Structure formats: structure tokens, C-alpha cells
A and B are shown apart, each in its own frame.
Chain A
């Protein structure tokens, strides 16, 4: 269980900015609360402070050279570094492109901005824009859909969206009896709440 009352890696400004991006990627609507309300920023903050953020499991010895696409990512930049640089630049690029920092853009402008990051038409200098976007999208989905003990998926909103029962460890009663049928069940997390 993570403590959502204080930030452990992100600065308050970074947290606000990444929350604004996350809420475009997974917005609040009739299907459920949005990313920030679901705790995705808290989730990310704690992930970046830990071994994932520092890419502790990666092979980082040199020489570091770019290869063919099929040889996979060769950069040894860590997720924590990519967020720090990428978020700093996001506002600069937003200012240049739309005349406002990202937080002050209209909903349509935010969407257009992220579409530009996704297809590479908006170019950052310090990070590979497409890679940064891919990371943002992967992490917000993780936050929205991982077990609530990691700080996101509040009230198991992500699981309720799709009808996933959660941390259940025995489906023998249902494998035949519920075959091909809708299962209405309150999901359960490792925290055993909700």
C-alpha cells in the first residue's frame, strides 16, 4: 500500500502536469473516474522512485550505439530521467506551439498536442517524443489497471470497466458453469477492500 499524501519523486509541478496529460489519455466519463482521480499520478510517482524508475534491471554497459530497429532500444536513459526531461520540455513546446503552457490549453488543444507526440509530428529535443508518449500511455494504463495496492485503480475502477474479478485465485466453480456468460461480481484486490 502506498502513501498518497506526499510525493516521493515528482515535484508538485511535475505531478500536476503529468496528471493533466493522464486525464486526456484516460478521461472521466460515464464509464468511470479519470486517471488522476483513480490515483495514476500517485502510482507513477512511486514507480519512478523505485527500481522501475531507475531501470535497475537493464543492461547498461557500453558501448551505447544505435542499431537496427529490430535490435531494440539501446538508450540507457531511465524512465525517471525521461519523465524529468520530458515534462520540463512539454511546457516549452506547448508554449511555442499554442502560446500557452500545457495546463492552460483547451481540451481540443491538449488532444491535438498528444496526437502530435504520438505520431511524431511534435518534436522534443531532450527525449524521443514517440518513446516518451509510449511511456506515458503504458504507465497510465498500468496505474488504472494494476492492483490498488500500488496507488492507482481507485475503487477498482479499471477492473469494473471491463468486468475483471481481480485477485481471485480459484475459478473452478465458474470455468464450466459461467462459460460464455456474463459474470457480475464485485472485484477483489490484494488489499481485500472494495
Chain B
């Protein structure tokens, strides 16, 4: 059966962080908004009760909260010319499958990106010139600066109840915070969390080495807090069931606790769940988006017309939906022309794994983002002259895991993996294992992109998205540099055994243990239609009533997690829609 829903002012595809943040702004401005979400309805009290939630097997191991590959997956290859194959099993890209999206199960690191991260091209050219760039690297500014975004970072933090210690307020450095952060107009809404034993060892070691440790700003609410929408959030309990779990305590920032309780009460908001949007429809001249087509939970085909179409799905699916809809010019790696699917980036991770002797690190007391970090080697906070790369990493003592099945393989090199010897090794290692993560920048490259796979299809017979990605030379150089810094700190912490690893030294795989889930780009915002799909307001250059929001807009990845930058750019775009576009519908940037 085919059916058409009544026309809405706005249709939003996907109700994760970006979709729900946008919906709250636009419904508050009086618009009639319909959101269409592929996953199911989920709410704190009934979906994540504390009497059921603390269960490692269904959470971290079977990953029951995630969207399954059977629903949709991606094909991957390292280089053009190779044959891409599907990710058949659960892999490192952790998509949500519910209202709240990945924002329900995320780890919670809540970073404002640095001024450099939003304007990398201008800043690299000013300081080093083009000689600093490896061959094929794509570097471009966003068209929006940190200063433009600061009020929106501030607003997002006050919706999320972000915990942390401010480093710079109105240009003045603050004790205990990150001296490298962009200047803030106000402190974090809630105080930083307590440190673990591992965090303290890291803080002491980095201080001795002359660096400046600070608490990672996080989604784990630091104290009882009434957020910007009037919702009462509760303090984090360090339960340790965070990443890959919903929070049953009302204490991890998520759309489910920070936005939806208010949004669902608004008569001008509707969410259609368990319905997958398969196409954006346009007028024949491709100048106006008219509606979206979706398949509902009964298998019926529905259509939702709207004056404004906002695409807010998982990063990669934003690109896929444009390609499936024939919107924009697909990127061609041979000519370097085209924009949709261009500038795909990942995250360059380095690690130091450590084993101490006779410690009680009590790893089960943690959060998804309980970490102490240094930014001395992040972004452009240090002189790269002669190093042959740009970027760096946030280096952090990360206490985000203590559950037994996940820890059962974490025994020192050469220990038995089974038998009596394993039992002894595991008993000791469980309390003595710690890790330092170097969460590195990722810059785009001519040979990193997404397009539609020529062979593999989803359950509806539509092409899967194909990812062509491998680390580039810039990543490999920065990864090794950061790996050595991680290992240096680990040794200073007094660890008995230290193993340093740079993941960029191996070919990219969707299954690499310890790897990131962060992907960006494909529908980037920018200043030039030849190198971006959208203008600085995340408005399509050719279709003024189409906005694609989320990390797909970012032409580079910082040495941070992307969520708060997604929140800030979403709020920035929401304001452009309510204050500029509604008064005069049309292109907000004229070339």
C-alpha cells in the first residue's frame, strides 16, 4: 500500500542528537515538525531500568542496542581498484537503532573543538605553508569559525548538562582546566567527575613531564542539574555500564533524557518510528526538495511532504541518502571532481597499554568518558615545523571499561590465554591493567571517499554505501608520534609493562580492536560549491530547502569526539533557519 501523510512545515530524517536538537528549536519557533526514525521508541524508565541494565552480555558483547548489519551495513576497501566487501558482523561503527540514535548508547566525551579544527586550511597556510601537507591531502575551512559557534556550544552544553572544568573563560585561563581550549563565555554546567586511581597516576605523571592535565568534559552529569529545557538531570553514579548502554539513572546526556521529554509534549511535533526513509524527492529541475519516501514497519510505502527537508541520520547514511536520491554530483576519485561522498575522515588512534604491579585500579567504577587528558600534542598546539605532518591527538587516561568478559583477554604479553595459567593471569591483570588513548586527528585525502557499491544491496534491493578508506601518510606520521608520547607517559606512570601501538600502521579495518567509531564527511559544509555540498549554514548549494546536519558536514576530524560539535553546528543551523530562512526562503549564501 502507498499512502501520503499531510504536509508538514519540516520533515526531519532521523531522531538522534542532531535531529532532536533541531526539532526542539523548530517546534519552539512554532513550526509543525515530523521526524521519521528507522529505530524503535526508547525511554529511560521503561527501556533501561537499573534492575535490568547492568548486563554485559546483552550490552557490550551481543550489542543488542545497536543497529544490526542485517538491517543495513557498508562495504569497505582500502583503495580504489580493490573489491569492497560487506561488514557482515557487528563492527566498529556503532549505529543506534532507536529514538535517540547513537546518542543513547554513546560514551559521552563532550568536546568543543578548537578554533584550529574549524579553520585548518587558513591556520596551516599562515603558520607553515603548503609544504606541510603530504601529497593528496584535502584541507579546507568550514565557513564557520569557533567564535561563530561559541554561543551554540554554550547552549548545547546547557541542554546536555555537560560536566567539566573550564580552561579559558572570556580569555582568562582557569586553574585545573584545558589551557588550549577556545575561550568560553561560561563554565561547564556541572562539575567534573571524580578521578580514578589510573586518572590520578596519569595526572601526576603528565604534570612531572611538564604537560597540563585536565578532566575530559563529559555527558556524565556532575551534579543534580535542571537543563536549559527545564528537565531535571541526575548525577552520574560511575556504574560502568555506559558505552553501548542506555542510561537508567537519568545521568548520561542523551536525546532521551535531555530533549525528548519536552519535545514529545509539543502538539506540533510528531515522530514516526520504525520507518526507514529511502529517498528524498525533488522537483524535476532539482531546485526544491518536496518530500521524503519511507518504508514503514508494516512494509507499506509512505510519503511525507514538507516545505523544509532536514537530513539527520548517521553520518554515513546522510551521504547514502543523497546518492540514492540522485542529489548533487558524486565524488570521482580519478578526476577529483564532484562533492557527495568526498572528504571522508575517520580517527587516528594510538595507544599505550599498561600493566602495573600490586595495584587495585578497581576498573568497574567508570563511565564511558571518565578520563584525564592533555592537549599539549593536539591540533596545532605544538610546533610542527620539520615533523612532516599536521594535527595530533588528545592523549588521555581513559577509564571506560571494567566488565569481566571484555577484560578477560587483557593479560600481559606471553600469558596463557586459557587453562589454570589464564585464571591466575586474569585475576592479577584485572586490577592492574590501564590504558592511555591518543585520539588523533584525521584529515581528508583524495583517495578517501564514499559511493554506492556496484554489487551489494540492502533488504530493499538498494545499493549499500561503499567506503574506500585507508590511513594516509599524514595519519601514519602523526600516529607514530603520538604513540611514542603515550608510551613515554605510561612509563612515567610507573607501569611494569608498556606496549605502544599506532593503529595507522596497519591497513584500516572495520574490526580492529580498540578502534574508534567516529566517521565524518561526505556532505561537507564549506565556502566553495566545488569542494562542498553545502554552505556555512549546512544548506545545500543547489536546493535551498534541504539541510543535511551532523558530522557528515565536517571536512576534517579533530583529536576529539565529534558529538558536541554536531550539537553546536545543529543549533547554529537551526538559528539560521528560524532567523533568516523563514523570513526569506532561498539561498542564505550568495556567491
Contact = CB atoms under 8 A, between A and B. Distances in A.
Q: How large is the interface on B (under 10, 10 to 19, 20 to 34, 35 or more residues)?
A: 35 or more
Nearest to A111: B419
Contact of B423 (A29, A73, A174): A29
Interface string B504-528: 0011111110000000000000000
Contacts, number: 176
A8 interface: no
A190 B52 CA distance: 7
A171 B241 CA distance: 12
Contacts of A168: 54, 239, 364
Contact of B506 (A61, A70, A73, A182): A70
Contacts of B427: 31, 161-162
Interface stretch (A87-95, A97-105, A122-130, A137-145): A137-145
A99 to B, nearest CB: 24
A159 B430 CA distance: 11
A163 B85 CA distance: 42
B419 A59 contact: no
A141 B405 contact: yes
Contacts of B174: none
A178 B405 CA distance: 23
Interface string B45-66: 0000011111111000111000
B85 A147 contact: no
Interface in B551-591: none
A58 B88 contact: yes
A67 B431 CA distance: 39
Given A67-B83, A161-B423, A179-B200, A171 B54 contact: no
Contact of A25 (B56, B419, B426): B419
Contact of A63 (B90, B359, B455, B507): B455
A1 interface: no
Contacts of A63: 455
Contact of B69 (A27, A58, A70, A178): A58
B52 A72 contact: no
A170 B73 CA distance: 36
Contact of A67 (B52, B85, B249): B85
Interface string A45-58: 00000001001111
Contact of B408 (A68, A141, A147, A174): A141
Given A63-B455, A70-B507, A145 B405 contact: yes
Contact of B54 (A61, A65, A167): A167
Contacts of B196: 175, 179
Interface string A24-56: 111101011000000000000000000010011
A171 B194 CA distance: 11
B85 A57 contact: no
A194 interface: no
A165 B431 CA distance: 13
B194 A176 contact: yes
A158 B431 CA distance: 14
Interface in B484-520: 506-512
A182 B432 CA distance: 12
A52 B62 contact: yes
Contacts of A175: 194, 196, 238, 365
B404 A159 contact: yes
A134 B427 CA distance: 21
A96 interface: no
A73 B239 contact: no
Interface in A59-89: 59-61, 63, 65, 67-74, 76
A50 to B, nearest CB: 10
Contacts of A161: 423, 426-427
A164 B196 CA distance: 16
B423 A56 contact: no
Contacts of A162: 404, 407, 426-427, 430-431
B417 A59 contact: no
B55 A71 contact: no
Contacts of B70: 56-60
A92 B303 CA distance: 59
B588 to A, nearest CB: 40
A65 B456 CA distance: 12
A180 B359 contact: yes
Closest 4 pairs (CB-CB, A-B): A57-B68, A70-B509, A59-B69, A170-B237
Given A73-B88, A74-B88, A169-B50, 11 more contacts: A57-B63, A57-B89, A58-B70, A59-B88, A67-B83, A70-B509, A71-B76, A137-B418, A145-B408, A162-B407, A182-B360
20 contacts: A25-B418, A29-B420, A31-B424, A56-B70, A58-B88, A59-B87, A67-B85, A71-B77, A72-B510, A141-B409, A146-B57, A161-B426, A164-B402, A169-B237, A170-B238, A171-B238, A172-B235, A174-B365, A179-B200, A179-B362
